[in-house]
């Protein structure tokens, strides 16, 4: 990979939706012990570049009895996954796909499946 020299004062604008993954997307995990598992994105955490996927990447944590958890014991905690470790699933292709971006005639930016061309945002 060749890096172009940085121009002074030139900044990449952080625009809304710079992540290809959004809340309520269906994603598949591409690496780690949960590889191949699919789930729905419960939350995107832009600050860390991670997503929380419902029911996936769960760790068990032992809790001592407290005012909030009177019983104590073991609770399940969903751990956020790096966005680079998940892929969006295309509802039409029924599998993980690469996502492209394009602007519609009205200027609205949408994501689309690079495989079948299906627009992801409606
Ligand atoms: Zn597709």
In this structure, the strands spanning 81-82 and 86-90 are: unpaired
Please give the distance, rounded to the nearest whole angstrom, from the Cα atom of residue 36 to the centre of ligand 1: 18
Is 66 domain-assigned? yes
Which of 27, 31, 32 is CA-nearest to residue 43?
27
Is 56 domain-assigned? yes
**pLDDT confidence of residue 85:** 94
Domain enclosing residue 80, as ranges: 26-93
* pLDDT tens digits in sequence order for the chain, 122 residues long: 556 665 555 454 444 456 789 999 999 999 998 999 999 999 999 999 999 999 999 999 888 888 776 778 888 888 999 999 999 999 999 999 999 999 999 999 899 999 999 998 87
Please give the distance, rounded to the nearest whole angstrom, from the Cα atom of residue 111 to the centre of ligand 1: 11
Whose tokens are 């860390």? That residue is: 48
**pLDDT confidence of residue 70:** 75
Q: Which residues surround ligand 1, an ion (CB under 5 A)?
A: 90, 92-93, 113, 115-116, 118
Please give the distance, rounded to the nearest whole angstrom, from the Cα atom of residue 76 to the centre of ligand 1: 33
Is 121 domain-assigned? no
- What does each C-alpha distance from 6 to 9, 10, 11, 13, 15 come to in angstroms? 9, 8, 9, 15, 20
- What's the CATH number where 61 sits? 2.30.30.30
């Amino acid at each position: 990979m060749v890096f172009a020299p940085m121009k002074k004062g030139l900044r990449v604008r952080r625009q809304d939706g710079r992540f290809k993954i959004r809340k309520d997307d269906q994603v598949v995990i591409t690496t780690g012990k949960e590889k191949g598992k699919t789930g729905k994105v419960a939350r995107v955490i832009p600050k860390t570049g991670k997503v929380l996927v419902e029911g996936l990447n769960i760790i068990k944590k032992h809790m001592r009895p407290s005012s909030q958890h009177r019983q104590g014991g073991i609770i399940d905690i969903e751990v956020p996954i790096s966005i680079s470790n998940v892929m969006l699933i295309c509802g039409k292709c029924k599998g993980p796909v690469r996502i492209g971006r394009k602007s519609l005639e009205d200027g609205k930016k949408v994501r689309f499946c690079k495989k079948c061309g299906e627009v992801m945002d409606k």
